[in-house]
Amino acid sequence: MASIGGDITELTFNHPTIGSGTLFVKASEDSTFDLGGLRSNDDANGVDGGGNTIRQMNHVRWFVEVTASWDMNTRKDLEKVTAMAADPVEAEWTVSHINGVTYGGTGSPVGDLNGNGNTATFPLKISGGGVLKQIA
């Protein structure tokens, strides 16, 4: 079977105080996924005096990075995302891909949230602890 890439069709969130909603992603734009979990440090000097490997393993956060559309009039996308970034409680997120796969995880918006008034978009990075899991 072929590997199928393409658009993120939607991001959904469910936050205990802000509520739930759907964010839409600009079509034909790149998206970046890091499923999180454990990573081994790439250290060429990671050996002891006997030549044995010293393997350093650390947890990393999962993340999804996209270009989101920004409806300023009705959905107020950037306003909701900004409110979630400022809230200490994380939301439940799902990320649906055009190939039918959906990932889910608990996390928050991170990084800069700069809306572009001309293109009606903003860069969005959602990140959380643990792993981003395929749920469908």
Distance, in Å, from the CA atom of 39 to the CA atom of 136, rounded to the nearest integer, reads 25
Q: How much is the mean pLDDT over the chain?
A: 97
Question: What value does the mean pLDDT take over residues 37-51?
Answer: 96
Q: Please report, for residues 8, 41, 54, 74, 87, the alpha-carbon distance to residue 57 in angstroms, rounded to integers and kept in the order given.
A: 31, 6, 10, 45, 30
The predicted-structure confidence for 58-80, as pLDDT tens digits, reads as follows 999 999 999 999 999 999 999 99
The pTM (predicted TM-score) of the whole model is 0.92
Confidence check: pLDDT of 34 > 80: yes
Number of other CB atoms surrounding residue 47 within 10 Å = 12
Confidence check: pLDDT of 32 > 90: yes
The predicted-structure confidence for 18-28, as pLDDT tens digits, reads as follows 999 999 999 99
**DSSP structure string for 2-64:** ------EEEEEEEETTTEEEEE-B-TT---EEE-BEEEE---TT-B-TTS-B---EEEE-EEE
Which residues on adjacent β-strands are paired with residue 92? Answer: 14, 106
3-state secondary structure of 113: coil
Percent of the chain whose predicted confidence (pLDDT) is above 70:
100
Distance, in Å, from the CA atom of 114 to the CA atom of 18, rounded to the nearest integer, reads 20
The predicted-structure confidence for 80-117, as pLDDT tens digits, reads as follows 999 999 999 999 999 999 999 999 999 999 999 999 99
What's the pLDDT at 132?
Answer: 98
Confidence check: pLDDT of 16 > 80: yes
Distance, in Å, from the CA atom of 62 to the CA atom of 105, rounded to the nearest integer, reads 8
| Length of the chain (residues) | 136
Confidence check: pLDDT of 55 > 90: yes
What's the pLDDT at 1?
Answer: 77
**CB proximity list for 42: less than 8 A, separation 6 or greater:** none
123: closest CA among 34, 19, 25?
25
